[in-house]
C-alpha cells in the first residue's frame, strides 16, 4: 500500500512536481493506512459483539418482569388516522399499530401508572400515506411533539424523568429521524424530545445518528397469515442456489445509479446477471414465497435503508439470509445470534459473492439451516394476531425487561431540565 | 460534531473531487497554495482535453492511480482503459476515500465507516460464472437435498418385487420397453422377476438388461398357447413360479404383478408402499380389439342392454375394490363382459375385443412375507403358499387367502385408477427381425456396372403409392432425387418401350431397376 505512491512518484521526473506534492501523497497514504487499520479493528469487535443463543432468551416470558402503562391519548393520534387510511394495517410499518393493540390486552399492562416500569404512548406517526401507499414523514415530528406536550402536561411521569422510562415505536425508514432520505435524516437527527426515551425501531446501523444506544431493533412487519398460506411441503428439494427479487436500480429516484443501496444492488446485478446459480430479477412472481422455500440462499441487500422485510421472509421460509449492508444492526441482536444464522457480506465484496457463498463449508450451511428451522426463531420475527408466546411483541417486551431496573440517575430533581424543547428545525415547532 | 464532519464531507463531494483532501491542504505551505491551485487547474484542463479525445474521464483515472490502495477489486492484470468506463465508476472510489480520511482526522472512532452519497458500482473484470464454483455450488445443492430427504422424506420404503410373465413375439419389445421405462422411474428399490414361456431367451434378456435393475430371469419350457384362455392359464402358472422364487430367495418387499402389456402410473408405486399384507387397486380395463366398428357396436349394445334391463352393473371399464360408505371393502367391481358375449377374441390374433379374466392379477399387491415359510406376525387368514395346490385351479390371488374380506383397498378405496390393462398382439404370421436389428442387410440386386439409381429418372408416377405391397423378397425401396427432373419429351417413348420389353412393375415411382436392358435402352 505504502509503496505504490512513492514508486509512482519516483518514476516521474521530479522537476514537474513541487516538493509539496511528495509530502501530500505520503501523508495521504499514511492516513489511508490508519483509516483501514481502524476499520479492521472495528471488524474484529463486530464478530464478537453478537452473542446470545436462540432458544433460551427467545423463549423468555416477559409477564411478571415488567409493567407497562399505556397513556390514553385522544383518537386523533391513533384511531382517526387508521380510520382515514386502513392501509396502515398492512404495510411494513404496521408494527406500531399492532404493538398498541397487543399492549392493550396484554398481561403486562397495568392501569396504575405509579407501579409501571415503562410508559407507552400510542401514536401512529407513520400512518400518513400517499396515494401509492408510501408514508410521508413530514408531519410526524410535529405530531410527536404535540403528543409529548400532551402527556407532559396531563401526567407527571414525563417530567419526572424527561422520558427516560418511556418508549416509542418508530418503525419508519430512519426511525426517529423522521425522514426517508438518509442525508436529510442525518441532518435532522433524532427528534430532540426523544433523546432520552427508548426507541423501538426497525432501522439499525452502527455509528449512525439515527440509532441511539439502547434502542431496540425490531423486524419490519410482514403479514403472518399471508406467509403461512404459502407454505409448501418441506420435502420439496431446495434447488435454487441464490434467490432475489427486487429492484437493482431505482430509476425514479436515482437515475444515474450509485446512490440507491450504495451501489450494492447494482453490483449484484452487473456481476451475476449471467450466472445461472443466481436466480435474480425484478419480476413480481406470484410464487415468490414458494420460490424462497426452494432456495438455499436469499439475498437481503440494503435498499434506501439497510433493513428490509426480506430478512423476515427468509427466516420464516428457511432460506439462509445473505445480508449485504455494512454495519447493520439486525433485529433483536442481543437475543438472536445472527452471525450463526446468516451470511454477512461486505458491500465491497459483492463482486466476489459467488466465491464467498460456494466456499462456505457444507456443514456450516446445514447448521444454519437447522438453526433457521427452529420454530422459536420464526416466531420471533413475526407479529401474529392474536399474539403468541415467543413472537416479536414478546421479544420487544423482553428487550425492555432486560433494561430494567432503571438507573436512579434518570429521575430528575425538581426543576431540572435536560431536554431542549425548542431545538430542531423551525417547522417542527408548529403545533399539530 | 458528527453532523458537521459529515456535512463537510458531503460538501466535498458536491464540489469537484479533483481537489486533494481538505485536511491535507492545511498542511501545505500557504505561499505555495496559489501555485498548487493553478497547477491543478492546468492539469484539470489538460485532462479534460484528453477526455474529449479519448471519450471518458481521464482525469479521474490519474487521481485514482495516485491515491488508490487495495480498495478496488482489480484482481487480474492492470487496469485497461479501453474497458467501457460506464460500468466501472472508478472516480467515486477515489471520492470515497476522502471523507473517510476526513473522518479519521476530524474526530475519533465515532465516525460511521459507511458514508452517504454516491458510491461506485463495483464490477469485476470477468463477470461470468466460474466453472469450479458452479461445480461446488451444485455439490452444496446436492448435499442440502440429501439432508432434506433424510429429514423429511419417506421414512421406510419397501422394495418393489415385480412379476412379469412374457414370451417372445412381435409386440414383446413394445410392451416390455414400456414396463422397463416405468420401472426405471420408480424411486424405490426394484427386483424384477421375468418369467418367460418357451425358455429364457437372449432377446428378452437383452431388453430387461437395459433397465439396469436387478432382474431374475426364469424360463418355462412350455410354449405360449394360441388362445387367450390358455394363455391366461399359463400366465397364472408362470406367476406362481415367480412367487415360488420369492419364497425361496426370501425376498422382502411388496409383490406386484406387472403384465408386460400393462401401463402403470407413478402414483401406483407410491400407493402400494402403504400395503400392510394384501391390497387391491383399481385397474382400468381397456378391452380393445383394434377394430373401431366393433367397439361402436359393442357400446351400442351395452347401451341397449342398459335400457332394457337397467342393470346396476357399472359400465365403467374398471376392475377394482368396492367400498361402502365407511370405506370398508365389500366386494369388487368387475368389468362387464356381457356386451361382448360371443364376440370376444378367442385366438390371440382375432380381430375382436380381448376380454380380461374375471379378476386380473395386476390389480392385487401383497407383502412378500405372506409367501415365506416362516414370517413373524403372519396373519391367520392367509393360506400357506407352500401347500398351494395348483391343480385346484388358481384363478386370482384371492386363492391365496382364506378370507378375502381382509384385503386392503388402496388408492382411496379404489377411487383412483392407478394402472391400465390392455392386450394387444400382432397377427399370427407376423414376422419381425430378432432383437429388432436388421441383419443381414436387405437384399439388393444391382447391375454390376451401374448404380442402383438410374441416371435419368424413369416416367413419373402414374399409380398411387399405397398400392405398393411389401413384397416377400424384401427389396429395398430407394427414392433418388433425380427422379423429379423428368423430361417430358422422353416420357412417351420410354413408356412404350417399357411396355414392349417388360411387364410393367406395380410401383413405378421408386424402384431399383434390376435388369440391365433398361439401362441400355435409356442410353
Instruction: List, as ranges, residues 324-353 from A with C-beta within 8 Å of B.
Output: 326-327, 347-348, 350-352
Cα(B102)–Cα(B238) distance, rounded to whole angstroms?
A: 91
Q: Which residues of B touch A182 (CB under 8 A)?
A: 116
Cα(A158)–Cα(A387) distance, rounded to whole angstroms?
A: 29
Q: Closest CB to A296: pick one of B73, B109, B144.
A: B144
Cα(B308)–Cα(B316) distance, rounded to whole angstroms?
A: 18
Instruction: Classify strands A118-120 and A68-70 as parallel, antiparallel or unpaired.
Output: parallel
**Exposure string for B193-211, b = 16+ CB within 10 A, e = fewer:** bbbbbbeebebbeebbeeb
Phi, psi at B330, each rounded to 5°? -120, -10
The mean pLDDT of chain B is 72
Digit-by-digit pLDDT tens for chain A (432 residues) are 444 444 444 444 445 556 677 777 667 666 665 555 444 444 332 222 223 444 467 778 888 889 999 999 998 888 898 898 888 888 889 989 999 999 999 899 999 989 888 999 999 988 888 888 888 888 888 898 999 999 989 998 888 888 888 999 999 888 888 888 888 888 888 888 888 899 999 988 988 888 988 899 999 999 999 999 999 988 888 999 999 999 999 888 888 888 888 999 999 999 999 999 999 999 999 999 999 999 999 999 998 889 989 999 999 999 999 999 999 999 998 888 899 999 999 999 999 999 999 999 999 999 999 989 888 888 889 999 888 888 899 999 999 998 888 888 878 777 777 778 887 788 878 888
User: Omega into B211 within 30° of 0, i.e. cis?
Assistant: no
Whether pLDDT at B334 is above 70: yes
Cα(A361)–Cα(A156) distance, rounded to whole angstroms?
A: 58
Instruction: List, as ranges, residues 103-132 from B with C-beta within 8 Å of A.
Output: 103-105, 109-114, 116-124, 127-130
Which residues have C-beta within 8 Å of that of residue B492, sequence separation ≥ 6? none
Cell of A409: 440517575
Cα(A148)–Cα(A123) distance, rounded to whole angstroms?
A: 10
Which residues have C-beta within 8 Å of that of residue B334, sequence separation ≥ 6? B319, B358, B359
CA distance, residue A355 to nearest chain B CA (Å) = 7
Burial of B485 (0-12, 13-18, 19+ CB in 10 A): exposed
Which pLDDT score, from 0 to 100, does residue B89 have?
40
Q: Which residues of B touch A38 (CB under 8 A)?
A: 104, 109
Beta strands in A211-330 (DSSP E): 216-217, 240-245, 278-281, 295-301, 320-324
Which pLDDT score, from 0 to 100, does residue B295 have?
61
Which pLDDT score, from 0 to 100, does residue B356 have?
81
Cα(A330)–Cα(A334) distance, rounded to whole angstroms?
A: 9
The 3-class SS string of A240-257 reads EEEEEECCCCCCCCCCCC
Q: Which residue of A lies nearest to B91 if distances are taken between CA atoms?
A: A258
CA B112 from chain center: how many Å? Answer: 56
Interface contact flag, A270 B87, Cβ < 8 Å = yes
Contact of A423 with chain B, judged by CB distance below 8 Å, is answered with no
Cα(A154)–Cα(A151) distance, rounded to whole angstroms?
A: 5
Whole-number percent of chain B with pLDDT over 90: 21
Which residues have C-beta within 8 Å of that of residue A407, sequence separation ≥ 6? none
Q: For B156-291, where are the alpha helices, taking DSSP H only?
A: 172-184, 202-209, 228-249, 266-272
Burial of A94 (0-12, 13-18, 19+ CB in 10 A): buried
Cα(A345)–Cα(A366) distance, rounded to whole angstroms?
A: 19
Contact by Cβ (8 Å): B96, B120: yes
Contact of A320 with chain B, judged by CB distance below 8 Å, is answered with no
Confidence category of residue B3, pLDDT binned at 50, 70, 90: very low
**DSSP run (H or E) holding A288:** helix A288-293
Tens digit of each residue's pLDDT (9 = 90 or more) over B245-301? 999 999 999 999 999 899 999 989 988 888 889 999 999 988 876 666 656 666 666
Confidence category of residue B76, pLDDT binned at 50, 70, 90: very low
Cα(B456)–Cα(A402) distance, rounded to whole angstroms?
A: 102
Contact by Cβ (8 Å): B116, B10: yes
Taking the alpha carbons of B388, B390, B393, B398 in that order, is the dihedral positive or negative? Answer: positive
Which pLDDT score, from 0 to 100, does residue A331 have?
92
CA distance, residue A148 to nearest chain B CA (Å) = 26
Which pLDDT score, from 0 to 100, does residue B513 have?
44
Interface contact flag, A31 B104, Cβ < 8 Å = yes
Which pLDDT score, from 0 to 100, does residue B197 have?
92
Q: What is the mean pLDDT of residues B422-433?
A: 83
**Among B350, B379, B222, B365, residue whose Cα is nearest residue B282:** B365
Identify which has the larger pLDDT, B386 or A53.
Answer: B386
Contact of B97 with chain A, judged by CB distance below 8 Å, is answered with yes
pTM of the model: 0.57
Number of H helices, E strands in chain B: 14, 12
Which pLDDT score, from 0 to 100, does residue A375 have?
87
Q: Which residue has the cell 416470558?
A: A61
Which residues have C-beta within 8 Å of that of residue A150, sequence separation ≥ 6? A73, A74
Give A77's DSSP letter.
G
Q: How many CB atoms lie within 10 A of CB B501?
A: 11
Give B87's DSSP letter.
T
Q: Which residue of A lies nearest to B116 if distances are taken between CA atoms?
A: A183
Cα(A154)–Cα(A69) distance, rounded to whole angstroms?
A: 14
Contact by Cβ (8 Å): B172, B201: no
Identify which has the larger pLDDT, B377 or B301.
Answer: B377
Q: Which residue of A lies nearest to B100 if distances are taken between CA atoms?
A: A35
Cα–Cα distances (Å) from B496 to B493, B499, B502, B521, in that order, read 5, 5, 10, 12
Q: How many CB atoms lie within 10 A of CB B11?
A: 10
Cα(A292)–Cα(A313) distance, rounded to whole angstroms?
A: 8
ipTM of the complex: 0.78
Give B443's DSSP letter.
P
CA B341 from chain center: how many Å? Answer: 41
Q: What is the mean pLDDT of residues B422-428?
A: 83
Q: How many CB atoms lie within 10 A of CB B517?
A: 12
Q: Closest CB to B36: pick one of A4, A20, A271.
A: A20
Which residues have C-beta within 8 Å of that of residue A283, sequence separation ≥ 6? A245
Whether pLDDT at B35 is above 90: no
Q: Which residue has the cell 491515491?
A: B67
Which pLDDT score, from 0 to 100, does residue B433 have?
85
Task: Please name every residue paired with B216 in a beta bridge, in sequence order, or none if there are none.
Answer: B193
Identify which has the larger pLDDT, A379 or B476.
Answer: A379
The gap between the terminal CA atoms of chain B, to the nearest Å, is 109
Q: Closest CB to A238: pick one of B10, B24, B148.
A: B148
Burial of A165 (0-12, 13-18, 19+ CB in 10 A): buried
A214 torsion bin: left (phi>0), alpha (psi -120 to 50), beta (else): left
Query: Directed axis angle between helix B90-106 and helix B2-14, to 10°?
Result: 150
Whether pLDDT at B175 is above 80: yes
Phi, psi at A240, each rounded to 5°? -95, 135
Task: Please name every residue paired with B79 in a beta bridge, in sequence order, or none if there are none.
Answer: none
Confidence category of residue B403, pLDDT binned at 50, 70, 90: confident
**Among B360, B361, B367, B377, residue whose Cα is nearest residue B160:** B367
Which residues have C-beta within 8 Å of that of residue A364, sequence separation ≥ 6? none
Which pLDDT score, from 0 to 100, does residue B157 have?
80
CA distance, residue A33 to nearest chain B CA (Å) = 9
Whether pLDDT at B519 is above 50: no
Query: What would you measure as the largest C-alpha separation in chain A, in angstroms?
Result: 82
Contact of A235 with chain B, judged by CB distance below 8 Å, is answered with yes
Q: Closest CB to B149: pick one of A25, A42, A235.
A: A235
Q: Hey, is B5 helix, strand or coil?
A: helix
Q: Which residue of B lies nearest to A297 if distances are taken between CA atoms?
A: B141
Tens digit of each residue's pLDDT (9 = 90 or more) over B130-169? 899 999 999 999 999 988 888 876 667 889 999 999 999 8
**DSSP run (H or E) holding B332:** strand B329-333
Identify which has the larger pLDDT, A296 or B520.
Answer: A296
Q: Closest CB to A238: pick one of B36, B133, B145.
A: B145
Which pLDDT score, from 0 to 100, does residue B521 have?
43
Contact of A82 with chain B, judged by CB distance below 8 Å, is answered with no
Contact by Cβ (8 Å): B170, B430: yes
Contact by Cβ (8 Å): A350, A264: yes
Query: Directed axis angle between helix A3-11 and helix A19-49, to 10°?
Result: 160
CA distance, residue B10 to nearest chain A CA (Å) = 9
Contact by Cβ (8 Å): A168, A199: yes
Cα–Cα distances (Å) from A290 to A155, A182, A225, A229, B387, in that order, read 50, 33, 14, 10, 56
Cα(B245)–Cα(B195) distance, rounded to whole angstroms?
A: 10
Amino acid at each position: 500500500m505504502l509503496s505504490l505512491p512513492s514508486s509512482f512518484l519516483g518514476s516521474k521526473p521530479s522537476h514537474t512536481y513541487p516538493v509539496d506534492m511528495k509530502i501530500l501523497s505520503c501523508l495521504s497514504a499514511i492516513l489511508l493506512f490508519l483509516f483501514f487499520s481502524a476499520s479492521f479493528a472495528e471488524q474484529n469487535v463486530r464478530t464478537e459483539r453478537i452473542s446470545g443463543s436462540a432458544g433460551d432468551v427467545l423463549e423468555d416470558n416477559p409477564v411478571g418482569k415488567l409493567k407497562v402503562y399505556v397513556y390514553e391519548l385522544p383518537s386523533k393520534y391513533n384511531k382517526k388516522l387508521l380510520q382515514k387510511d386502513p392501509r396502515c394495517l398492512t404495510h411494513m410499518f404496521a408494527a406500531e399499530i399492532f404493538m398498541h393493540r397487543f399492549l392493550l390486552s396484554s398481561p403486562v399492562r397495568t392501569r396504575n401508572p405509579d407501579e409501571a416500569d415503562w410508559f407507552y404512548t400510542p401514536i401512529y406517526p407513520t400512518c400518513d400515506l400517499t396515494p401509492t401507499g408510501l408514508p410521508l414523514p413530514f408531519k410526524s415530528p410535529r405530531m410527536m411533539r404535540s403528543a409529548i406536550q400532551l402527556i407532559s402536561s396531563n401526567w407527571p411521569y414525563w417530567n419526572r424523568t424527561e422520558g427516560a422510562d418511556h418508549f416509542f415505536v418508530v418503525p419508519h425508514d430512519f426511525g426517529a429521524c423522521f425522514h426517508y432520505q438518509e442525508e436529510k435524516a442525518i441532518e435532522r437527527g433524532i427528534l430532540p424530545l426523544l433523546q432520552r426515551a427508548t426507541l423501538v425501531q426497525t432501522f439499525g446501523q452502527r455509528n449512525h445518528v439515527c440509532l441511539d444506544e439502547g434502542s431496540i431493533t425490531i423486524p419490519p412487519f410482514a403479514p403472518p397469515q399471508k406467509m403461512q398460506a404459502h407454505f409448501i411441503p418441506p420435502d420439496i428439494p431446495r434447488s435454487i442456489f441464490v434467490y432475489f427479487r427486487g429492484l437493482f436500480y431505482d430509476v425514479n429516484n436515482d437515475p444515474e445509479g450509485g446512490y440507491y443501496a450504495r451501489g450494492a444492488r447494482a453490483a449484484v446485478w452487473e456481476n451475476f446477471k449471467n450466472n445461472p446459480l443466481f436466480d435474480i430479477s425484478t419480476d413480481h412472481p406470484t410464487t415468490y414465497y414458494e420460490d424462497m422455500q426452494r432456495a438455499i440462499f436469499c439475498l437481503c441487500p440494503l435498499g434506501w435503508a439497510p433493513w428490509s422485510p426480506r430478512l423476515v421472509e427468509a427466516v420464516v421460509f428457511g432460506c439462509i439470509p445473505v445480508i449485504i449492508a455494512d454495519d447493520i444492526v439486525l433485529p433483536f441482536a442481543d437475543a438472536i445470534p445472527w452471525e450463526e444464522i446468516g451470511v454477512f457480506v461486505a458491500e465491497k465484496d459483492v463482486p466476489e459473492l459467488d466465491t464467498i457463498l460456494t466456499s462456505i463449508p457444507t456443514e456450516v450451511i446445514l447448521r444454519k439451516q437447522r438453526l433457521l428451522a427452529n420454530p422459536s426463531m420464526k416466531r420471533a420475527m413475526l407479529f401474529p394476531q392474536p399474539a403468541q408466546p415467543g413472537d416479536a411483541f414478546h421479544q420487544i417486551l423482553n428487550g425492555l425487561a432486560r433494561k430494567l431496573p432503571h438507573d436512579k440517575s434518570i429521575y430528575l430533581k425538581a426543576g431540572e431540565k435536560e431536554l431542549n424543547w425548542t431545538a430542531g428545525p423551525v417547522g417542527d415547532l408548529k403545533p399539530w | 460534531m458528527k453532523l458537521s464532519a459529515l456535512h463537510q464531507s458531503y460538501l466535498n463531494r458536491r464540489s469537484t473531487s479533483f481537489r486533494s483532501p481538505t485536511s491535507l491542504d492545511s498542511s501545505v505551505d500557504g505561499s505555495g497554495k496559489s501555485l498548487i491551485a493553478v497547477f491543478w487547474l492546468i492539469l484539470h484542463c489538460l485532462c479534460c482535453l484528453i477526455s474529449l479525445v479519448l471519450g471518458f474521464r481521464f482525469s479521474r483515472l490519474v487521481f485514482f492511480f495516485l491515491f488508490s490502495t487495495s480498495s478496488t477489486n482489480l484482481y487480474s492484470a492492470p487496469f485497461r482503459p479501453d474497458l467501457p468506463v460506464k460500468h466501472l465508476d472508478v472516480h467515486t472510489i477515489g471520492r470515497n476515500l476522502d471523507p473517510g480520511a476526513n473522518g479519521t482526522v476530524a474526530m475519533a472512532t465515532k465516525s460511521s465507516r459507511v458514508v452517504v452519497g454516491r458510491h461506485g458500482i463495483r464490477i469485476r473484470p470477468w463477470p461470468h460464472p466460474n466453472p469450479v464454483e458452479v461445480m461446488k455450488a451444485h455439490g452444496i445443492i446436492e448435499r442440502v437435498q440429501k439432508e432434506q430427504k433424510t429429514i423429511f422424506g419417506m421414512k421406510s420404503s419397501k422394495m418393489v418385487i415385480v412379476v412379469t410373465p412374457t414370451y417372445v413375439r412381435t409386440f414383446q419389445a413394445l410392451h416390455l420397453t414400456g414396463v422397463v421405462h416405468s420401472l426405471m422411474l420408480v424411486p424405490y428399490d426394484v427386483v424384477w422377476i421375468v418369467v418367460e414361456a418357451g425358455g429364457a431367451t437372449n432377446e428378452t434378456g437383452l431388453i430387461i438388461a437395459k433397465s439396469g435393475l436387478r432382474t431374475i430371469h426364469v424360463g418355462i419350457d412350455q410354449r405360449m398357447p394360441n388362445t387367450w384362455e390358455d394363455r391366461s392359464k399359463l400366465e397364472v402358472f408362470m406367476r406362481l413360479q415367480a412367487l415360488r422364487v420369492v419364497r425361496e430367495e426370501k425376498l422382502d418387499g411388496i409383490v406386484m404383478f406387472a403384465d408386460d402389456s400393462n401401463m402403470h402410473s407413478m402414483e401406483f408405486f407410491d400407493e402400494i408402499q402403504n400395503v400392510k399384507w394384501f391390497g387391491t387397486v383399481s385397474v382400468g380395463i381397456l378391452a380393445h380389439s383394434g377394430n373401431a366398428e366393433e367397439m361402436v357396436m359393442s357400446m351400442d349394445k351395452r347401451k341397449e342392454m342398459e335400457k332394457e334391463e337397467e342393470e346396476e352393473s357399472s359400465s365403467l371399464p374398471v376392475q377394482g375394490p368396492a367400498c361402502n360408505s365407511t370405506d370398508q371393502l365389500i366386494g369388487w367391481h368387475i368389468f362387464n363382459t356381457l356386451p361382448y358375449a360371443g364376440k370376444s377374441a378367442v385366438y390371440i390374433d382375432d380381430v375382436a375385443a380381448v376380454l380380461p379374466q374375471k379378476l386380473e392379477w395386476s390389480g392385487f399387491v401383497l407383502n412378500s412375507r405372506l409367501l415365506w415359510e416362516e414370517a413373524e406376525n403372519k396373519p391367520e387368514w392367509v393360506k400357506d403358499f407352500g401347500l398351494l395346490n395348483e391343480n385346484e385351479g388358481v384363478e386370482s390371488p384371492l386363492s391365496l387367502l382364506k378370507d378375502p374380506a381382509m384385503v386392503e383397498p388402496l388408492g382411496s378405496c379404489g377411487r383412483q385408477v392407478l394402472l391400465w390393462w390392455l392386450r394387444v398382439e400382432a397377427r399370427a404370421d407376423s414376422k419381425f427381425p430378432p432383437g429388432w436389428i436388421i441383419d443381414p442387410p436387405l437384399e439388393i440386386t444391382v447391375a454390376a456396372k451401374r448404380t442402383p439409381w438410374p441416371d435419368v429418372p424413369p416416367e413419373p408416377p402414374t399409380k398411387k403409392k399405397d398400392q405398393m405391397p411389401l413384397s416377400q423378397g424384401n427389396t429395398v425401396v430407394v427414392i433418388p432425387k433425380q427422379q423429379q427432373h423428368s423430361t417430358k419429351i422422353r416420357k412417351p417413348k420410354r413408356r412404350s418401350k417399357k411396355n414392349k420389353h417388360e411387364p410393367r412393375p406395380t410401383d413405378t415411382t421408386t424402384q431399383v431397376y434390376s435388369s440391365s436392358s433398361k439401362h441400355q435402352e435409356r442410353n
